[in-house]
């Protein structure tokens, strides 16, 4: 890594810390869904379970950077709300697999709808150029996150850097 790259990464870190909390607050202002008003990790866990189907709790926790105790608390909350269920892992009785319930699918659908409506309302004052810029940036960030995620998955499987 060059000195210039290091400086850019430092600027990126500063930008994330300075901008993301404010951006999230501006985008989620006036949200109808309680989980869209604040960062609610349980909704993101629920979304991950919906995306991946039956999945080990530890895998989602590792993927999302959530500790085992906190992940257990989040899943227990989702179970008490009837949004996910524990399923026995036929390959490993010690492992906990979770799956989304029909109520969980509806909750995610409602969360996504409310979040989209709120974002549309709060960003509708942007001009077309800003919307296009933000659209491209979100896609670029998503692509980079996928690359980092694949690299991390390779580390976990091989036990060494990819």
- Does residue 16 lie within any of the structural domains? no
What's the confidence (pLDDT) of residue 106?
Answer: 94
pTM of the predicted model as reported, rounded to 2 decimal places: 0.72
Q: How confident is the model at residue 97 (pLDDT cuts 50, 70, 90)?
A: very high
- Does residue 14 lie within any of the structural domains? no
Same domain, 66 and 144: no
The CATH number assigned to the domain holding 93 equals 1.10.10.10
More confident residue, 25 or 121: 121
What's the confidence (pLDDT) of residue 158?
Answer: 43
> Is residue 132 classed exposed, middle or buried when 0-12, 13-18 and 19+ CB atoms within 10 A define those classes?
exposed
Same domain, 89 and 56: yes
pLDDT at 25 over 50: yes
Same domain, 119 and 50: yes
Q: What is the mean pLDDT of residues 85-102?
A: 88
Identify the domain containing residue 95 by its residue range: 31-125
* Distance from chain centroid for Cα 82: 20
């Amino acid at each position: 890594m060059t000195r210039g790259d290091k400086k850019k990464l430092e600027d990126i870190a500063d930008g994330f810390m300075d901008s993301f909390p404010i951006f999230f607050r501006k985008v989620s202002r006036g949200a109808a869904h309680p989980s869209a008003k604040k960062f609610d990790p349980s909704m993101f866990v629920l979304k991950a379970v919906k995306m991946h189907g039956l999945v080990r709790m530890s895998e989602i926790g590792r993927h999302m950077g959530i500790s085992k105790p906190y992940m257990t608390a989040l899943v227990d909350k989702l179970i008490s709300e009837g949004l996910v269920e524990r399923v026995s892992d036929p390959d490993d009785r010690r492992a906990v697999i979770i799956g989304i319930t029909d109520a969980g699918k509806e909750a995610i659908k409602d969360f996504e709808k409310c979040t989209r409506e709120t974002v549309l309302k709060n960003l509708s004052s942007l001009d077309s150029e800003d919307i296009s810029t933000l659209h491209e940036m979100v896609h670029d960030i998503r692509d980079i996150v996928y690359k980092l995620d694949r690299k991390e998955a390779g580390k976990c499987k091989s036990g060494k850097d990819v």
